[in-house]
Structure 1
Amino acid sequence: MLRKLLPLFKNSFLSTAQPDQSSERFFIFFDEDNNEWLGIPKSEISESELNLLIALYPLSKFSIVNHTPETKVWHDFLLSDGQPPVYQSNSNFRFLQFHLQDRFVEDHEEIESAFKGFFSEDIYIVWENENSGIVIEEMKQISLSEKEMIAMSETVESDFYVKIHFYIGKKYPFSEQLRFHFQREREYFAFGKDHINSSNIFTFERVFPAFMAYNLPKELSEKLFLELEDVFQEDPEMFVTIRTFLENNLNASVTAKKLYIHRNTLQYRVDKFTEKTGIGLKDFYGAFTVFLACLLFEQKV
């Protein structure tokens, strides 16, 4: 079947052995029944054609052809249970995971160059697949803040016209445990991309409350959900207001600015919420409980 597609794409090729050509230029499809690979230039296939072919044939895995020896070691260590790289035990590392939301990303070298321009120290960039990768940062001095990470994401998005997500990992001392720390953060990043729409920059503290709410036992989640379900369903505007207020550390000025409302309007809605529920948001326990309920409500609607 793949052989019949060959004339439809001018610069495509067919192979009976897995191609070693870079998949940065080609989409490579595998016909398991006939043990054949078809490579189609990304510039010659439309998105609808691509979606149709993906439904029929699996895409071959991304070829790690551009890895240096150092990044190849990191790739194998983090993703393939390979041996750890050689570093002193007092070295500290941080993993910044990224995902580019665009199937037609081809300028990997240019994207790497854009990333490196934000770091004062050398970094390693490991591509996990065509659209996802890991920035490995050896932390010898103060590293990028979350604010600077936001600036970096905005630069990449404006220069390459792609949506990008980042997960900012924690600092860890060098050891074989780095792999397990990375795998845990990888799980949080995957969850954040799938379940949190309010941000494209993720951290443990930003993801974990939603992760916890998602994984609550059904009986507990239903009990908490029922406590505030009626209030939020009756007044969706109040839900957005309370959620934004809590996300911004109960800062009325910042919340009002983000919602494009007057501070008095914000205060009215907060007071109305407290009157209806009997829960004060300035109390830590009240704020925590309501925020957890907001996360559950968002997942169910």
Structure 2
Amino acid sequence: MQNLVEFFEKETNKQINIFKYTNQPLKENQQLISFNNETYIIEMNNKFVFNHANGYFYLIHQQNLDFENLKRVLDNLYEDINVFEYNKFVVLNSSKLLEIDLSTPEIIESETYSNTLIAYLGKISDINIFNLRLSIFDEVLPFLSTDSNSNKFVTLTDLTIYNVIFLIEKEKSIYSLIDFENIKTIDKNLLHTGISFIENDLNISKTSSSLFLHRNTLIYRLEKIKEIFGLDLKIFKDAFVFYLSIKSYFASNI
């Protein structure tokens, strides 16, 4: 009988109750089925059940969620999608990769008037993997919501980086390698400049444009970081250490 319940829940994405039919009147959400020469009542509850993951998944977080309005917007943007609430997020599921990028949250915000954060969880066929990636996103969400350098569209790469940052904060042996007392004394604009330089692929021109900084001002700040931290951000290893250290510092001050 349990297998039958699981089958119907998988097919309908609804919570199912099944019990024997004894000529009692049927309710609106009930119907009869025959199984192994017995007649049963199948009762469908409105509560959504999500036990089987398949396809491409995106999580959408809005502080002031109006689910029906958000679903309407998503249905207008994309075809053949499933949209449902799961835990405190809205899940967008599709059998194909959707055209979602950095501009998508802005489009949704213009229609829903609510700050929007989207995370791409990848192509998933295992509900356990889905729940694990959701829990990682949930864990780093406070940092994503307050980090001025973070994007509103979060990729799997971003989730990996932010998860490492939080693991650093939890793992005291690694945490102790970062000189937070020194970082506290540094102008935050200088720290954000270094982060922006790394996130713009160590490219002077791209960083200057994104920060509206003169090229020479940016170069001066990078030299200042090198002087203070002994890290040359044009070198991958130095940039890597600086990025994780500063991001961990910001995360610890949420």
Look up the match of 1:136.
Answer: 93
Residues 210-232 of structure 1: CA distance to partner in whole angstroms, max 9, x if unpaired?
32222221122121x21x75256
Alignment CA distance shift 1:247-1:75 (3 Å): farther
Look up the match of 1:126.
Answer: 84
Alignment CA distance shift 1:229-1:241 (3 Å): farther
- Which residue among 182, 191, 201 is the counterpart of 1:230? 182
Equivalences for residues 59-138 of structure 1 within 5 A: 70-72=12-14, 75-78=48-51, 84=52, 93-102=55-64, 105-106=65-66, 108-119=67-78, 121-128=79-86, 132-138=89-95
Q: Distance in 1 between matches of 2:121 and 2:252?
A: 28
Q: Distance in 1 between matches of 2:157 and 2:240?
A: 13
Residues 65-117 of structure 1: CA distance to partner in whole angstroms, max 9, x if unpaired?
xxxx7443895234xxxxx48xxxxxx61111112211xx44x3332121122
Identity %: 23
- Which residue among 160, 172, 175 is the counterpart of 1:218? 172
Q: Distance in 2 between matches of 1:229 and 1:242?
A: 18
Alignment CA distance shift 1:201-1:72 (3 Å): farther
Alignment CA distance shift 1:229-1:260 (3 Å): farther
Alignment CA distance shift 1:143-1:159 (3 Å): closer
Post-superposition shift, 1:182? 0.8
Q: Find the residue that maps to 2:61 and give its secondary structure.
A: strand
Q: Distance in 1 between matches of 2:100 and 2:105?
A: 12
Residues 250-272 of structure 1: CA distance to partner in whole angstroms, max 9, x if unpaired?
12222222222111100111122
Q: Find the residue that maps to 1:117 and give its secondary structure.
A: helix
Look up the equivalent residue of 1:220 and give its one-letter code.
I
Look up the match of 2:39.
Answer: none
Look up the equivalent residue of 2:202 and give its one-letter code.
L
Q: Normalising by the residue count of structure 1, what TM-score does the alignment of the two structures yield? A: 0.61
Q: Distance in 2 between matches of 1:230 and 1:299?
A: 16
Post-superposition shift, 1:168? 0.7
Alignment CA distance shift 1:233-1:72 (3 Å): farther
Q: Distance in 2 between matches of 1:212 and 1:133?
A: 25
Alignment CA distance shift 1:164-1:71 (3 Å): farther
Look up the equivalent residue of 2:77 and give its one-letter code.
F
Look up the equivalent residue of 1:143 and give its one-letter code.
L
Answer yes or no: is 1:203 the counterpart of 2:158.
Answer: no
Are the counterparts in 1 of residues 196 and 207 from structure 2 also a CA contact under 8 Å? yes
Alignment CA distance shift 1:70-1:100 (3 Å): farther
Are the counterparts in 1 of residues 73 and 111 from structure 2 also a CA contact under 8 Å? no
Look up the match of 2:237.
Answer: 285
Greater strand proportion? 2
Q: Find the residue that maps to 1:234 and give its secondary structure.
A: coil
Equivalences for residues 2-81 of structure 1 within 5 A: 70-72=12-14, 75-78=48-51
Where do 5+ consecutive residues of structure 2 fail to align?
Answer: 1-10, 16-46
Post-superposition shift, 1:234? 2.9
Are the counterparts in 2 of residues 153 and 165 from structure 1 also a CA contact under 8 Å? yes
Q: Distance in 1 between matches of 2:186 and 2:235?
A: 24
Post-superposition shift, 1:166? 1.1
Look up the equivalent residue of 1:194 and give its one-letter code.
P
CA-based RMSD of the aligned residues comes to 2.6
Q: Distance in 2 between matches of 1:290 and 1:157?
A: 33
Alignment CA distance shift 1:72-1:166 (3 Å): farther
Post-superposition shift, 1:295? 1.2
Look up the match of 2:20.
Answer: none
Answer yes or no: is 1:258 the counterpart of 2:217.
Answer: no
Q: Distance in 1 between matches of 2:12 and 2:218?
A: 53
Look up the match of 1:179.
Answer: 127
